Structure 1
Amino acid sequence: MQKNKITVYQIFKRLFGNKNLPKRPNGTLEENGSGKFNDITDNVLEVLKESGYTHVWYIGVLAHASATDYTRYGIPQQFPEIVKGKAGSPYAIRDYYDVDPDLAVNVKERMSEFEALITRTHKAGLKVLIDFVPNHLARNYRSVTKPPHVNEFGEKDDTSLAFAPNNNFYYLPGQPLDLQFLQDKGIEVNYVENPAKATGNDCFTNRPSEYDWYDTVKLNYGMDYLNGRRKFFDPIPHTWKMMRNILFYWAAKDIDGFRCDMAEMVPLEFWKWVIPQVKAQFPGIIFFAEIYNPSVYRDFLADNTFDYLYDKVGLYDVLRDVACGYRPSSDITFILNTVGDIQHHMINFMENHDEQRIASDFFLKSGEKGKAAMIVTACINVNPVMVYFGQELGERGMDEEGFSGRDGRTSIFDYWSVDTVRRWNNNGRWNEDLLTEEEKSLRRFYHKLIRLCNLEKALREGLFYDLMYANYENMEFNSMKQYAFIRGDYTDFLLVIANFSNEEEEVTVWIPDHAYDFFKVMQHERAIAVPLLSDEKFPIDFSPTNPLKVKIKANDGEIYKISFL
């Protein structure tokens, strides 16, 4: 059975599928609308499958705090002053056992609509990933959908203690929550929290700032942060068992994997305890960790714990700098060496909901200019690669949606719709009729690239060989702006070249004898290199004993399939 390279399409549900033209920044649900579960139709799922994706990560599924009133459906009223934006953060969970009502056509049937989406996604041959948010929850958390035997968070806490191993929260006894920064802006604060709880970003003060995650509270996993991070894990803390129940609840709905938000802010011991239990009951389920501390990468992979980790502070950061001209392309080699033994467990991406859009004014100002970085991202190894919705259309993320502001990111806090995606949607047709020629061209590039990740066995399963060392003294190879490597599986032999220059360049690449030996390739006097990304499949005839000379467009790249004659 073929083992696929995981290719993930990330969908922020509130925005994806929203056909409404936004009426105003910071608008309400009624004014600006929201995408629905039902907008993810068989049609668009088939498009994603045909585009080469294996998994869909549905972002913002779990019920989270918002300023929208759903009390007529029995959903507790939230306090707008402790909600970021009108729509709220998808990571300020207000009910772990519910889905977000904004995403339902019939709010009373919201869970059934989500379950139908899971079924549709699987029917299309795609797998489902959702978020698990373990570190923090919404300040005004209250579950009305939890199973009867499940306790509410904080229900049995001793709020007179700053820390107790079985408390769900951390407290600041005698200190009420003080959101003075909101009052300074003229915002009326009706929410009362006394004693104050620690804020989600490890902020142990009753006066969080506007730069803190003030809409969330930190969960207590039995670690006393204010006393040397002492651990109280025996007996198993109450929070551990509650979070295990939540994972089991969603896994039982036929979820294929969890992307675990801020995983390193939760004790590693919890993950080593809970993930094997979930995998034992639900074989095949996978766990992705959002993580930014390279010193703990290997710990989070050990003992059948996480399957994959974010490679944000490594490959993403370096590729971004290389693409912007801030660092030489040779730095890619050095950063890959830091995760050499675990590279196949790293998740590669050039966009996600936290990062600025490639085409934004704060990054490359054009989706086309991100091609070279995306080719390296997708082809560097067998590990997963992710694409954020709209990335393949060159979405700029330069709207001023409201709370988010014009920051080069697509807002996760506001009711909005994304122009490029709305036109691709084309009232549910999901076609190119309303796209510009530039958007169509970029979309077809991503279509080819992502499909090749699994069509070509050498990319899907093959080994990696860096050619930068072999070309270090090659005066015709620009190690400041060019990057080259080989992917092979002892049968197929692929040469990947990226040009990070703003000009078309002739690239001269030496393939050393050692590379042929490494892939057990029998050399001949002649070889041909056939480009796989280009529309023009003109083969290049060359001698393996001489360098290969090719022209690569500005900020672009190519994958050459080499055959020996």
Structure 2
Amino acid sequence: MKRIVTFMAILVVVLSCQAPESSESEPMKPQKIVVYQVFTRLFGNTHTTNKPWGTKEENGVGKFNDFTDTALEEIKKLGVSHIWFTGVPHHGVIGDFPEIGVSSDDPDVIKGRAGSPYAVRDYYQVNPDLAVDVTKRMEEFEALIARTHKHDMKVIIDIVPNHVSRHYEGKNNPEGVKDFGADDDTSVEYARDNNFYYIPGEAFQVPVPKNGYQPLGGENHPLADGKFDESPAKWTGNGSRLAQPDFYDWYETVKINYGIKPDGSKDFEELPAGADSLDWKKHYEFWQGKDVPDSWKKFKDITQFWLGKGVDGFRFDMAEMVPVEFWSYLNSHIKNTNPDAFLMAEVYQPALYRDYLWKGKMDYLYDKVELYDTLKNIIYGHGSTDNLPAIFESQRDIEHHMLHFLENHDEQRIASPEFAGNPWKAMPAMVVSATVSTSPTMIYFGQEVGEPGAEDAGFGDPSRTSIFDYIGVPQHQKWMNGGKFDGGQLSENEKALRNYYSEVLNFTRKSSALMGEYLELHSFNRQQNPAYTNKSFAFARWDENQKLIVVTNFDEFQSVKTTLKLSPELLKAWNLEKGEREIKELMFGKKKTKLRVTDNRAEIDLELGPWESAVFEVR
């Protein structure tokens, strides 16, 4: 259903112990973290050719220098505190760079033409595609770090400890740092200090293609011969132990050995009992003087290198595929260098969350399989908000550490027909995601202007903006407007969408209550209020300075007109004065409504349109 939705808004009503004028004139100190993930090589690309399997000359490629002061300031204004620059380390890519002595990767073991950022080829350099002058590519990235800091935002980059490119080639190692595999005993499947696992006596074979796949879409290339020289073969990144992995395996990568034997047993000292209650300093002390596997030291050196460049934190790919003891070792060393380093990771098994937080010393984990997947199902129209309270209750002890998102490079674009089709359909989910806990909120570049990811880029499938190919991002390009970064080519509806995101994100950065307590009101209203359905969701957030009621309507067609009831638990916590008062919203529209409080109940007159949300503050 397409509609102009500039009328949609978060309704924010402020009722505090201070006078309303004081609340509005004295902005609160930003507290929530907002992460802006950007695929670095796509951000500044202005080409609109979008040819499947197109070269960078045909389809274009963005550069570090495209993140101008203007661009960074506009990102900052969106409400962003941290930028995750995805795809910075030098990964496998098709094409020669003779100026720096780098030859093309083999198309038989590369996905796409531009290559996956998760098949890192050299951890001590940046992707040469991202530089205007490839001989000064590191200097250009260092300048981007400095510009980002100048705009009061932090810099995050990817580290992928589970695997590296099949063609890893450390041409830029610091003095004394040996390359991955340089000292490996390749005659055995496993040795503790080998960096890789091997298949002795067998050579690697390129997977048999499926579904008509051809490297580079069938284009002639001198290296595209169905062969890749690797003998003995190494285990593949996802754990395949076959010399010829399956086409759907992560065949472009090889798995790193962390001292886990092939039978799954550990070949290193484990953490002591009670380690989950110890801070990172105690973990750091524990590892001093310990003999750890060589791969641990290599990744410690890599992260220390990037911290030395001014990087403020890391996003760790597929963290659950690497032992938690390694994370204790690595993250405590990172924190010892920079106690404020921002560490977030992919962990998709809820049963492992607490181990990777408390023992592994992660700061934040993706909340994908619980919150994201549930919200996506609700947006689809198949799910029920009745499923949300149990998620938040089960995460009460770790809620601050569960990073919330509705898009990232792995997930379908909200605006794609395969997902919501209309980006406004997800706005109730955005409000819930951003305000329900003290955790960080993450958005993916282009999400805020309704990018549908519809291009057939080559290796990647439409509905997800390709991370494997050179491609343009049309909606983002409209906002970029040839380098003005002013949204000059966006429609009024698209501008309204970006404004909506900006209002939500900036509000979360300023509201002190969103770093305070939480109590869900959904269950109480479902029991006591027939007009309140499983398409709505309501909860309270508060601290000593501010009391908020958040209500959302996920229904695409039906308005909500009801009396929202505050639960006895909330009445006790808030100790509200009896009486009726008029309350008004703050962020949009200045609507007015009534709050009534008696001896044993309180209620708010509520009217929300389709996909509309409201945030009320109560004094």
| TM-score bucket of the superposed structures, by smaller chain | over 0.9
User: Hey, what does 1:178 align to over in structure 2?
Assistant: 205
Q: CA RMSD in A?
A: 1.7
Offset of residue 362 of structure 1: 1.3
Deviation at residue 425 of structure 1 after TM alignment: 0.7
Shift in Å at residue 522 of structure 1? 3.2
1:163 aligns with 2:194: no
Q: CA offsets, 1:462-516, max 9 Å, x none?
A: 2111002321312334341110001111321111111111122224310124213
Could you say which residue in structure 1 is the equivalent of 2:241? 204
Distance 1:185 1:360, change over 3 A: closer
Distance 1:175 1:524 in 2: 80
Alignment match, 1:540: 593
In 2, are the aligned partners of 1:89 and 1:413 still within 8 Å (CA)? yes
Secondary structure in structure 2 of the residue aligned to 1:169? coil
Aligned with 2:569: secondary structure? helix
Pick one of 37, 49, 61 that aligns with 1:10: 37
Q: Using CA pairs below 8 Å that are at least 6 residues apart, which structure has the higher relative contact order?
A: 2
Paired residue secondary structure (1:421): helix
Going from structure 1 to structure 2, the CA distance change for 1:557 and 1:92 (only over 3 Å counts) comes to: same
| 2:511 corresponding residue in structure 1 | 456
* 2:420 is equivalent to residue 364 of structure 1: yes
Q: What pairs with 1:136-147 in structure 2 (closer than 5 Å)?
A: 136-147=163-174
Question: CA 1:388–1:472 in 2, change beyond 3 Å: closer, same or farther?
Answer: same
Write the letter of the residue equivalent to 1:539: K
Corresponding position of 1:341 = 397
Q: Which SS does the other structure have where 2:36 is aligned?
A: strand
Task: For 2:267, give the aligned amino acid.
Answer: K
Q: SS at the partner of 1:484?
A: strand
- What is the CA–CA distance in structure 2 between the aligned matches of 1:204 and 1:57, rounded to whole Å? 33
Quote the residue 2:493 is aligned against. Answer: 438
- The correspondence for 1:494, drawn from 518, 540, 548, is 548
1:2 & 1:561 partners in 2: Cα distance?
17
Structure 1's 135 and 191: CA in aligned 2 closer, same or farther, altered over 3 A?
same
Name the counterpart of 1:54: 81
Aligned counterpart in structure 1 of residue 93 of structure 2, from 66, 70, 73:
66
Counterpart pick for 1:505 among 533, 547, 560 = 560
Partner of 1:195: 232
Aligned to 2:465: 410
Equivalent in 538, 542, 551 of residue 484 of structure 1: 538
Q: Any idea what the Cα deviations from partners look like across 1:130-178, whole Å, max 9, x if unmatched?
A: 1111110000000111112100111110111001101000001111111
Q: Are 2:454 and 1:398 aligned?
A: yes
Q: What is the Cα deviation at residue 212 of structure 1?
A: 0.8
Q: Which moved more, 1:473-482 or 1:431-440?
A: 473-482
What SS does the corresponding residue of 1:279 show, helix, strand or coil?
helix
Matched residue, 2:375? 319
Is the counterpart of residue 83 in structure 1 residue 110 in structure 2?
Answer: yes
Corresponding residue for 2:526? 472
For the 8 Å contact 1:71–1:77, the answer to whether it is kept is: no
Q: Give the Cα–Cα distance (whole angstroms) in 1 for the partners of residues 85 and 519 of structure 2.
A: 34
Any conservation in 2 of the 1:380–1:464 contact (CA below 8 Å)?
A: yes
* Cα drift, residue 32 of structure 1: 0.9
Counterpart for residue 554 of structure 1: 610
Q: What's 2:59 paired with?
A: 32
Q: What is the CA-CA distance between 1:327 and the residue it aligns to?
A: 1.8
* Cα distance, 1:426 vs structure 2: 0.8
TM-score with structure 1 length normalisation? 0.96
- 1:422-446 Cα deviation digits (max 9, x unpaired): 1111111101221012211110100
**In the aligned structure 1, how far is the partner of 2:608 from the partner of 2:323?**
47
Q: Which of 548, 565, 576 is the aligned partner of 1:522?
A: 576
Q: TM-score, normalised by structure 2?
A: 0.87
Aligned to 2:280: none
CA separation of 1:541 and 1:180: change in aligned 2, threshold 3 A: closer
SS at match of 2:528: coil
Q: What is the rounded CA distance, in whole Å, between the counterparts of 2:413 and 2:123 in structure 1?
A: 30
1 CA distance for matches of 2:425 and 2:226? Answer: 46
* Partner residue, 1:241: 297
Partner of 1:350: 406
2:306 is the alignment partner of 1:269:
no
Summarize deviations over 1:72-128 as a string: whole Å, max 9, x none.
321243111111000000110000000001111111111000000000000001111
Matches of 1:26 and 1:554, distance apart in 2: 41
2:522 and 2:345 map into 1 onto residues whose CA distance is: 30
2:331 counterpart of 1:294: no
**What secondary structure is seen at the aligned counterpart in 2 of 1:497?**
strand
- How many percent of aligned residue pairs carry the same amino acid? 41
CA distance, structure 2, for counterparts of residue 440 and residue 289 of structure 1: 32
Contact in 2 for aligned 1:476/1:508 (Cα 8 Å): no
Could you tell me how far apart the structure 1 residues matched to 2:78 and 2:553 are?
Answer: 24
Q: Distance in 1 between matches of 2:240 and 2:409?
A: 23
Q: Distance in 2 between matches of 1:368 and 1:472?
A: 25
3-state SS, counterpart of residue 118 of structure 2: coil
1:227 alignment partner, one of 252, 263, 278: 263
Please tell me whether the aligned partners of residues 511 and 544 of structure 1 are also in contact (alpha carbons under 8 angstroms). Answer: no
Shift of the 532–172 alpha-carbon distance from structure 1 to 2, 3 Å rule, reads farther
For structure 1, the residue ranges without an aligned partner over 5 or more in a row are: none
Give the match's secondary structure for 2:425. helix
Encode CA deviations 1:278-325: one digit per residue, 9 max, x unaligned.
211222112111110111111111157111111011110111111212
Contact 1:9 1:389 in 2 (8 A): yes
Contact 2:99 2:134 in 1 (8 A): no
Q: Distance in 2 between matches of 1:36 and 1:477?
A: 53
1:330 alignment counterpart: 386
Larger displacement relative to structure 2 (161-170 or 46-55): 46-55
- Out of 136, 148, 168, which is 1:121 matched to? 148
How far is 1:231 from its partner?
3.1
Gaps in structure 2 of 5+ consecutive residues: 1-27, 215-223, 270-289
SS at match of 1:542: strand
Indicate conservation of the 8 Å contact 2:455/2:465, yes or no: yes
The answer as to whether partners of 2:409 and 2:467 remain within 8 angstroms in 1 is yes
Q: Distance in 2 between matches of 1:548 and 1:522?
A: 13
Q: Is the 8 A contact 1:499 1:554 kept in 2?
A: yes
Q: Distance in 1 between matches of 2:328 and 2:293?
A: 14
Partner SS, residue 378 of structure 1: helix
Quote the Cα distance in structure 2 between the aligned partners of 1:230 and 1:479. 51
- Contact 2:326–2:360 at 8 Å: present in 1 too? no
Instruction: Give the drift of 1:456.
Output: 1.6
Pairwise CA distance, 1:227 = 1.6
SS in 2 for 1:315: helix
Letter of the structure 1 residue corresponding to residue 547 of structure 2: F
Q: Do the aligned residues in 1 keep the contact of 2:50 with 2:472 (CA within 8 Å)?
A: no
Question: What is the rounded CA distance, in whole Å, between the counterparts of 1:414 and 1:544 in structure 2?
Answer: 59
